[in-house]
Structure formats: C-alpha cells, structure tokens
Structure 1
Amino acid sequence: MKTPDMNPNAKLSSLERFAYGIGDYAGNLVYSAISAFLLVYYTNVVGASAAAAASIIAFSKLLDGVSDLAMGYIVDHTHSKWGKARPWIARLCIPLAVCTVLMFSVPTSLEGKAQIAYMFLTYNLVSTIFYTGINVPYATMHGLMTTNQYERGLLGNFRNLLATAGTMTINTVVMKMTTAFGGGDAYSQKGWTLTIIVLMIVFILLNMFTFFVCKERVVEQNTEKKEEKVSFVKGLSCLVKNKYWLLMVVALFSMYFMMSCFFGSAFYFTKYNMNNEGYYSMVANLLSIAQIVTLFITPFVMKKISKRNVFMAGMCISTIGFVLSAFTTNYAIICASSVIKGMGFGCAGATMFGCLQDAITYGEWYNGYGTAGMGNAASSFCMKVGSGVGTAALGWILGAGGFDAEAAVQSASSISAITISFAWVPVITSVICIVCMFFFDLDKKYDQAVADLAQGRHRTDK
C-alpha cells in the first residue's frame, strides 16, 4: 500500500518544490553561461569569427536534438529504486561539470581547424550528451512528482523562479569573476577557466540536493501495473497526434529561439549600441528582478485564470517591452523595457512547463498509453534546436552586419544587426507564442482526462 506521501495527486511540501526549482538554478549555471557568454568567449577570448562559432552551435544542435529523443526513450525504459528520471541527475552531473570547464578552456596553442574541432567536440560533450542526459530527466520529473494541476503550476513557478535566479547569478558574476581571476583582464583564458570551475562545483552540489529531496510519486504508483512496451516510433506517433503538445512545442521552440538571440545580444547591445558594457549587469538584472517579483505573484493569478491565459498575457507584455527597446539606446528607457520584459517572462516562465506537462498527460488519456520521457525529450529537442538556432541566428546576423570584435567602434550595419537581434527577432517569436496559446484550450478537457486516468480509463476505452 502506498503512503499518503506517495499519493500521485499529492500536494508537495515547500522544500520539495524548492528542491525541484534548484535543479533549474543549477542547470542555468550551464545554460545561461552558454546563452549569454559562449559566443562572447569564442569571439573575444578565443578569437574565432562570430559566423564560424555560430555555425558550430547551429549544426551541433541538430545532433543535440537527436540525443534528446534517445534520452527520452531511455528515461521511459529506466527502472530503479529512485524512479525513471531522478537517477540520471546524480549519474551525470559530474561529467557535465567537467566538460563545461573544458568547453570554456580552448587551448591557446590551437589554431584554425584544430581550434574549430576542439570547440565542436567540447560543445557537443556538454550540450548533446551530458546536458541532455540531465535536462530531459529533470523535465520529466515535473510530470512524475504529482498529477495535481495546480501543484504542477507551482513547480513550474519554482522552476522558473530559480532558473531566473541562476540566470541573474551568471549575468552578475561572470565578468566580475573573469576579471578578478584574470588579474584585471576580463578576457584572459585563465580567468574564464577558473570562473567556470567555481560555478561547476556549485552546480554539482545543487544537483545532488535536488536528487535527494525530490520524489517520483506517479511512477511509484504505476509500478504495480504491468507496463505496456511502447516502441520509439509508436511514442513519436503518439506525440504528433496530440495537438496540445504540438502547440506547446512550437511555443517553446519560439521562446528558446527568442531567449538565445535576445540574451546573447544583450552584452553586445550595451557594449556597442549603448557604448558602455558596464550597463549590461543592470539591464540584464532588472529583467531578472522583475521576473522574480512577477513569479511570486503568478501563483495567485493562476488561481483566478488558467495557466494558458497567464502565458499568453505574459508574451503580450514582453512584446511591448521589445518594441520599446527597438527605437532607443537611452539608458533609462532600456532599463524600463527590461522591467516590462521581465514581467512578461515571469508570467510565461511560470506557466509554460506546467502547460507542457498537462499536454503530455492529455496525450496519455487521448492515445491510451503514456510516454512522459518521450514527450519531454521531444519537447526538449525543439527547445534546444530553438536555442541553438537562436544563438546561430545571432552569429549570422552579426556576421551579415559586418560585426568585428577587434573594432572599438562598430559600423552602422553592425549596430543595426545588434538591434535586430536584441529587439525585432524577439518581437516576431513572441507573437508566435501568443498565437499558439490562443488555440491551447486544454482547460476544457483536462479534469475529465485526469479523472479517467485515475480510474484506469482512456479515451480509447469509451
């Protein structure tokens, strides 16, 4: 008999919600470092061209997407005393930390093709193999800890709250740490290597905290039943029949494309368009602070209106902020636009992963079998491809604009390219998210789907 604590529809403790969110804080010590600073590291420390670095990232993301699908299949077929997803966090956090240090430690002796090969290899070890190996199980845990719709919303809230704190940490400390460790030189290899070593020690400790505190109740309940073997192809077929999952995939692809292009261009925007790279921390952190404050409010809003409506409203607010920042470099206005964007990101970030888990649960009811690992993996595939293509798009746009890292003053076309990446690309992707959520009317069907699943019934049984 299952204890009340292992009830699949359980209300979670604040500690467990926090522990789950800490997993994304840790993940953002890697993800945000890549999004905000990897291109800067490649161009300003290693000396690689923006276009070459962007091409490496873009091509690698295709491989990364394939590994996501493979990892989802592995999670669905994992059986251990810790559950399906949780053990992978403990198994892979150390290899990921080591490879992240190697990625930000390109040997100065390497040049040309050898340098490109090293960048390609280490980037893929981080993103394609080990980050995938942790992130897919971590995302899957969201749906395996409870089926309670409001609790899933809160988990998404905690996850995004602490992910934002992780991003804020990276935005605040990286350049200060590289300067301190580099003896006053923010762009020395020694400074970057030591900075990432410190961050990765923290990364390992936080992942182990998540592992020890969180539980997989839904998997525990289902272990008493004989599980149906679902092939890789059948799992994918299940997903593409689920219109709500497809809408979330498009929305998440757009979100991650936007975030990579926007966050990756923010440092360039303050350094070259605003002529003061010292503005970067304030511009970035005001967004994070506004996002964090909003995340404390969204749980109360979600009780009044659905997660879907909060998500859609958030992207509308973000669009206003992006449009505002497209027409000025005034410090006060850019800071104000960051606050507006942060409010929108808070609404969207608090709800997007909860909406995804609801869509996956609906898919289990709709198709007659569950593929939580595959659903999260395929979604992660699209998020990573979106992230990679967003970073690559930034590099290609900068390259097309004639960006030159060695130039103290950029050309007019380079400045325009930075503005496009910082403002107009995010406007387009935000509108795509709004359209997706307009058609995401799952709230009308979710309660019935969960009630049927609790009785062991599916749509196909009727």
Structure 2
Amino acid sequence: AIIGLLVNTLSVFSVKELPEGELVDTTDKKEIEQDEKYNLVQAAKLLAGNKYYMMICVTYILQQIYGAMISMGTYYATYILGNQNLFGVFSWAINIPLIIALVFTPTLVAKWNGMYKLNVMSYTLATISRALVAVAGYMGSGNVTLMLLFTAIAALGQGPWQGDMNAAIAACSEYTWLTKHKRVDGTMYSCTSLGVKLGGGLGTAITGWLLAASHFDSALTVQPDSCINMLKIMYLVIPFALDAIITFILSRMKVEEANEKLRAAV
C-alpha cells in the first residue's frame, strides 16, 4: 500500500499536463462537448487504435506475471536454499531499492527531459541484473550473496517505470486527444486496471499450472528433481525473460516524441 501511494504521488510530479488550449482550439463549446462524447464501441476503437496504450497494457500484464513468478521465491528459498526466511530478505532487497528509485524518479525525468530514455536505460539495467541473478542462482545450490546483490540492482532499475507509468498513461491519453480529438482519460485508466487484474489472474494460473506439471507436493519435505528444476526456471529464468520483453516494449514507446511532433504540426 505504501509503495502504491508513493508510485501515484511521484507520478504526479513526473509529468506536466498541458492545458487544452495548447492542444487544440477550445473556444467552440459545442466542439468540446462533441469531442468528449463517445460510446463503448467507439472507446474500444480509440484505445485499440493507440499503439502506445496497447504497449502499456501488455507491459502491465507482463509485470503482473513477473510478480507472480517472484512470489515463487518462498518455495525457492524453502526447497532449494533450505531456509524459508530468506524469502523475506529477498523481499527487502526488492522493496528498499524500489522505494529509493521512486524518490529520485521525478528528478531523473526532469534531468533527462522525459521518461523515454530513463525507462529504457533503467529497465535495461534491470534485465542485465536479472540475468545475473539467474547465473548466481545456478551456481551450485545458489550463491545467495550475489543473488541478493543483483536482485537489489534489478529492483533499482525497475523503479523509474514504476514511478512514471501513470504519467506514461497520461501521455498516451494526450496522444489520443491529439490524433482523434477525444478525451478518454477515465476509460484509459479503467482499462489499464483491467489489464492489471487480467495479468494477476494469468500469473496465478500460470504458476499453478507449472507447479502441477512439475509434480509439486506440499506434503513433501524434499521435492522431486522435476519440481526443483521448475522452481529454478520460474524464479530465475522467466523473470529475466519478462524483463527483456518489457525492455523491448519500452524501447518502442516513444509517445512523448510523437506528442511533440503532433503539437508542432498544429
């Protein structure tokens, strides 16, 4: 809850909302009212036609699946590292760097003149770090010290996007306004929350399927090799793969640049 509050608060300071007068001619009240009217089908078309919004939706879903895989750390710590309490340590290694990153996100956004470069560079760092977490995890029974170190660096790299993704949604809404002259702010945020719920459901289902396929049995003190191998894939390999995909998506999310070009053309 605290992290969520920080994310939403910092997002406000990460973006400057332009007045409508700088986007289009808003002197005609009838035109304004017409621009704000649309039905459900039109809203769906507007959202589907905004490629940047679709990128964010996919990213949200991937992040939820990522979270579900990271939650498998409790099983990883118990059956592979042999100490369930280590999961709490890994959680701190994620949350503390994330909070630190959130604090500095607004400053970094301002310094780098926008979100794009910061998000791509920071998530690239996160991807490399998650790869190194996997390498450390496959060292014998797992090099806990290195795993903790690279887990913390990965969380630090994921922080800026966590802090400015709501601002990115606002930029996507602006893109729809500039291209279609329709305000879909509320609908866009609501559909994004649906993406979070969809991703959360998928993440929970996928982890359950993978555990079942690996013959996990909670009644066993020692899990079969098939389960141990699957836990390594779920906690070490899949999070890295998801970070890599998200980094690629963020590298294509040049919504700020697109908005600048559209405003200049007005």
| TM bracket, shorter-chain basis | 0.7 to 0.9
Equivalent residue for 1:325, pick from 133, 137, 141: 133
Distance in 1 (alpha carbons) for counterparts of 2:148 and 2:120: 23
Q: Kindly state the Cα deviation for residue 238 of structure 1 after the two structures are TM-superposed.
A: 0.6
Equivalent residue for 1:310, pick from 99, 102, 118: 118
Q: Deviations over 1:249-283 (max 9, x none)?
A: 22222222212222x21111111111101111111
Cα pair 1:310 1:347 within 8 Å, conserved: yes
Q: State, as a whole percentage, how many aligned pairs show the same letter.
A: 20
Q: Deviations over 1:268-323 (max 9, x none)?
A: 11111111011111111111111111222222221222212222222212222222
Equivalent residue for 1:365, pick from 158, 178, 187: 178
Partner residue, 2:81: 274
Structure 1 segment 34-433 matched on structure 2, within 5 A: 150-151=15-16, 226=33, 228-262=36-70, 264-305=71-112, 306-327=114-135, 328=137, 329-433=142-246
Partner residue, 1:80: none
Q: How many residues align?
A: 247
Tell me: higher relative CO, structure 1 or 2? Use CA pairs within 8 A at least 6 residues apart: 2
Partner residue, 1:183: none
* Alignment-mate amino acid for residue 249 of structure 1: C
Q: 1:326 is paired with a residue of what secondary structure?
A: helix
Q: Deviations over 1:70-116 (max 9, x none)?
A: xxxxxxxxxxxxxxxxxxxxxxxxxxxxxxxxxxxxxxxxxxxxxxx
Cα pair 1:311 1:352 within 8 Å, conserved: no
Distance in 1 (alpha carbons) for counterparts of 2:3 and 2:157: 23
* Alignment-mate amino acid for residue 39 of structure 2: S
Decide whether aligned partners of structure 1 residues 24 and 292 sit closer, same or farther in structure 2, where only a CA change above 3 A counts.
closer
Q: 1:369 is paired with a residue of what secondary structure?
A: coil
Q: CA RMSD in A?
A: 2.9
Partner residue, 2:24: none
Distance in 1 (alpha carbons) for counterparts of 2:115 and 2:66: 21
Distance in 2 (alpha carbons) for counterparts of 1:418 and 1:360: 39
Decide whether aligned partners of structure 1 residues 439 and 239 sit closer, same or farther in structure 2, where only a CA change above 3 A counts.
same
* Alignment-mate amino acid for residue 410 of structure 1: Q
Q: Deviations over 1:211-251 (max 9, x none)?
A: xxxxxxxxxxxxx8646431000001011111211222222
Cα pair 2:14 2:110 within 8 Å, conserved: no
Q: TM-score, normalised by structure 2?
A: 0.82
Q: Kindly state the Cα deviation for residue 22 of structure 1 after the two structures are TM-superposed.
A: 5.5
Segments of structure 1 that go 5 or more residues without pairing to the other structure are: 1-20, 29-138, 153-223, 453-458
1:24 equivalent to 2:4? Answer yes
Distance in 2 (alpha carbons) for counterparts of 1:340 and 1:23: 18
